[in-house]
Amino acid sequence: MPTSKKLFLIGFSTTGKSQVGEEVARRLGCKFVDTDEEVASVAGKPISAIFSEDGEERFRELEKWALQKCSMGDESIVISTGGGTVVDPQNRTLMFDCGVVICLEARPDTIYRRLKKDTEDSLAANPRPLLSGDDPLRKIETLKQTRQPFYALADWTVHTDSLTVDEVTEEVLRGLKYAQKRFDKSGAVPANNNELTPSFTVNVPSGDYPVYVGLGILSKIGTLMKKAGLKNAAYVITDSNVQKLHSKKVMDSLKGAGFAVDCYAVSAGETSKDIDEAVKIYDWLVKHKAERGHAIVALGGGVVGDLAGYVAATYLRGLPLVQAPTSLLAMTDSAIGGKTGVNRPEAKNLVGAFYQPRMVISDVQTLTTLSKRHYVEGWAETIKHAITMDPELFELLEKRTSELLALEPEITTEVIKRSSALKGNIVAKDERETLGLREILNYGHTIGHGIEAATGYETFLHGEAVSIGMMAAANIGLMMGVTSQGLVARQQALLREFGLPLFAPGVSQESIRKAMALDKKVSNKTLKWILLNDLGKTVTRNDVPSEVVDKVIQTITHESAKG
């Protein structure tokens, strides 16, 4: 094998790693190893038996050992890894440091068909674990979603759905040749290799765009924008707080990449997300003779992202938009998906447009400059993503709360990637919320937005209002017989552990109801409610009695409410 002597194949079950790995190794004239076979050999029993008798933790220990063993020395080798190997950060570091990583990809329905065929062909007495239960396809989709941000890190990806083993092999060899550019003649990663790869891509009909998540990457924004074909001028829109902290770094990077740069700062806070402020920015762009090909860079939290996005969508009927979120809430939610807009006094986001960015650049390091309150509020959206779509992520949040609150870099970056990818996956399936799939993202937002509007957007931060709204929705689900008491308690415990509020004592109940009447989910004067059916599962209901809603609103706003 030329240059790098290690080739790692990653990907979900039945994407073809073992068969293709053997054929690639044969053509390269080198050794092939399957880490699952190594694990089974040292344990003296099949993988399924290790899981059932010793537990997953023991399997992961053996898997890590097998990967380290295969990666040692200068021998050329093709290594097929297990579907979950890449989730472990130490495994990822090992693979990317000493070899080329290629992902074999397939759609969930393809994986489902292949698993069924493998089971039938082997005449197995028991079905594969992924095929057990009432809805195996859903199980595959859910597990695959949690791993997708890690698969997306590969040097090269091959979609195997309609390809033969030989065709996949050819694509892997082509990718290997391309990815070798990461390595010098000695096989080591060059010290000056600073090229960033997207954490994942949001695939939407109006145009795919990459999402970058990492530490210290804001200084590379100019290079990334230039690489994406943007040029000439960039207009940075930010707020008064973020301007002091991050604008110089961004503007220096843009100037270094050849952009002419100007910056406009609004006052920090939700009150700046206003049509009058948008008009001021229009006038500023006119003054600077902004042209259709010039880019808008939204540098800040959700307020700046929504406001700058709305300006980009409407000025000259559309300027290229780059989202550079600096808050946790914006990174995992508002910067992804193309929802832009401004508030009106009566309700939140009444005026807006769907307008996808050209890219999203989330520098996790910027979170260290947030106040504790502004950092903590962002976890509400991640908890929402986890409880509605990803049970494994929810459990991870429960186990690693203290590290996440301490902003431990590695786990925080991983969780942000996973949460962002969940949002991106939903957006890809339902870009403009026309199919009903994207409505899942509104869990907790109906009453949450009502609370924000009722308090003039000054009492609660958005994430805080969403946290209260999630508890309200959970209790509505409980009263409707949809959500279990245990799940309500579990959600409440996690929100409380992250320091998020559960009640809005003293807020006008009537003002909340008025704002809810203007909610975007109202159809034929009836509100649609997103309710929890189980961890990772939601249902949409439009038959919630007004007396149920009133009772819950009374509970969360009662003067004696705590939390």
| Domain contains 480 | yes
| Backbone phi, psi, residue 102, to 5° | -120, 130
Cβ atoms of 254 and 294 closer than 8 Å: no
List the Cα angle 155/157/158 in 5-degree steps. 145
**Token representation of residue 85:** 């190997």
| Shared-domain flag, residues 234 and 364 | yes
Indicate the helix (H) or strand (E) that contains 553.
helix 546-557
116 in active site: no
Residue 236, helix vs strand vs coil: strand
**Token representation of residue 361:** 């650049």
| Shared-domain flag, residues 353 and 414 | yes
The per-residue pLDDT for 125 is: 45
Closest of 480, 495, 468, 486 to residue 531, by C-alpha: 480
| Shared-domain flag, residues 351 and 210 | yes
**Token representation of residue 400:** 């690693």
CATH number for the domain including 450? 1.20.1090.10
| Shared-domain flag, residues 209 and 317 | yes
- The two beta strands, 209-214 and 100-105, are unpaired
Residue-wise burial string across 354-373, b where 16 or more C-beta atoms lie within 10 A, e elsewhere: bbbbbbbbbbbbbbeebeee
Q: How many residues does the chain have?
A: 563
Closest of 319, 237, 333, 247 to residue 278, by C-alpha: 237
Q: How far is Cα 471 from Cα 474, in angstroms, rounded to an integer?
A: 5
Cβ atoms of 482 and 531 closer than 8 Å: yes
Cβ atoms of 350 and 343 closer than 8 Å: yes
358 in active site: no
| Domain contains 98 | yes
445 in active site: yes
- State the residue range of the domain holding 469: 443-557
Q: How far is Cα 161 from Cα 11, in angstroms, rounded to an integer?
A: 13
| Domain contains 311 | yes
Cβ atoms of 331 and 365 closer than 8 Å: no
159 in active site: no
Q: How far is Cα 32 from Cα 79, in angstroms, rounded to an integer?
A: 6
Residue tagged active-site, from 182, 348, 423, 520: 423
Residue tagged active-site, from 449, 452, 464, 520: 449
126 in active site: no
Residue tagged active-site, from 241, 349, 442, 475: 442
| Shared-domain flag, residues 263 and 173 | no
Q: How far is Cα 296 from Cα 358, in angstroms, rounded to an integer?
A: 10
Where are the alpha helices (H) located in 55-182, listed in sequence order?
56-71, 89-98, 108-122, 136-151, 165-179
374 in active site: no
235 secondary structure, DSSP code: E
Residue tagged active-site, from 433, 439, 452, 464: 433
Q: How far is Cα 300 from Cα 384, in angstroms, rounded to an integer?
A: 22
Cβ atoms of 297 and 250 closer than 8 Å: yes
| Domain count within the chain | 3
**Token representation of residue 63:** 């898997």
**Token representation of residue 460:** 């609660």
Residue at which a domain ends, from 428, 451, 469: 428
| Shared-domain flag, residues 453 and 420 | no
Closest of 342, 323, 320 to residue 420, by C-alpha: 323
CATH number for the domain including 103? 3.40.50.300
| Shared-domain flag, residues 423 and 448 | no
Residue tagged active-site, from 185, 287, 289, 317: 317
Residue tagged active-site, from 381, 439, 452, 464: 381
| Domain contains 315 | yes
| Shared-domain flag, residues 91 and 175 | yes
| Domain contains 82 | yes
| Domain contains 1 | no
pTM across the whole model: 0.67
Residue at which a domain ends, from 182, 214, 230: 182
438 in active site: yes
| Shared-domain flag, residues 422 and 463 | no
Cβ atoms of 382 and 372 closer than 8 Å: no
| Domain contains 368 | yes
Residue tagged active-site, from 339, 374, 384, 385: 339
| Domain contains 434 | no
| Shared-domain flag, residues 400 and 458 | no
| Shared-domain flag, residues 82 and 153 | yes
Closest of 313, 417, 498 to residue 92, by C-alpha: 417
> Which residues 6+ apart lie within 8 Å of 92 measured at CB?
86, 150, 153
Please write down the long-range contacts of 49-56, taking CB distance under 8 Å and 24 or more positions apart.
51/129
pLDDT tens per residue across all 563 residues of the chain: 544 578 999 999 899 999 999 999 999 999 999 999 999 988 888 888 888 888 888 899 899 989 988 888 778 899 999 999 998 888 888 888 788 999 999 999 999 888 887 766 554 444 555 666 677 888 888 888 888 888 888 888 899 999 999 999 999 998 888 777 655 444 444 444 456 889 999 999 888 999 999 988 999 999 999 999 999 999 999 999 999 989 999 999 999 999 999 999 999 988 999 999 999 999 999 999 999 999 999 999 999 999 999 999 999 999 999 999 999 999 999 999 999 999 988 877 889 999 999 999 999 989 988 888 999 999 999 999 999 999 999 999 999 999 999 888 889 999 999 999 999 999 998 998 887 788 899 999 999 999 999 998 889 999 999 999 999 999 999 999 999 999 999 999 999 999 999 999 999 999 999 989 887 566 666 788 999 999 999 999 999 999 999 999 999 998 766 65
Residue tagged active-site, from 182, 294, 374, 462: 462
| Shared-domain flag, residues 345 and 230 | yes
58 in active site: no
The per-residue pLDDT for 529 is: 94
CATH number for the domain including 306? 3.40.50.1970
Residue tagged active-site, from 6, 144, 182, 445: 445
Cβ atoms of 175 and 156 closer than 8 Å: yes
The per-residue pLDDT for 70 is: 86
